[in-house]
Amino acid sequence: MTDNNPQFEVVRNDEGQYSLWPVGKPMAKGWTVVGQRGERQACLDYIAEHWTDMRPLSLQH
DSSP alpha helix (H) spans, 1-61: 40-50
For the stretch 3-61, pLDDT in tens is 688 999 999 999 899 999 999 999 999 999 998 999 999 999 999 999 887 766 777 76
Instruction: For the chain, give every domain's residue range.
Output: 7-56
Where residue 2 falls among pLDDT bands split at 50, 70, 90? low
Three-state DSSP at 23 gives coil
Q: Name the architecture of domain 7-56.
A: Alpha-Beta Complex (3.90)
For residue 12, the model assigns a pLDDT of 95
Model-level pTM? 0.80
Q: Which residues of 8-34 are buried (b: 16+ CB within 10 A; e: fewer)?
A: bbbbbeeeeebebbeeeeeeeeebeee
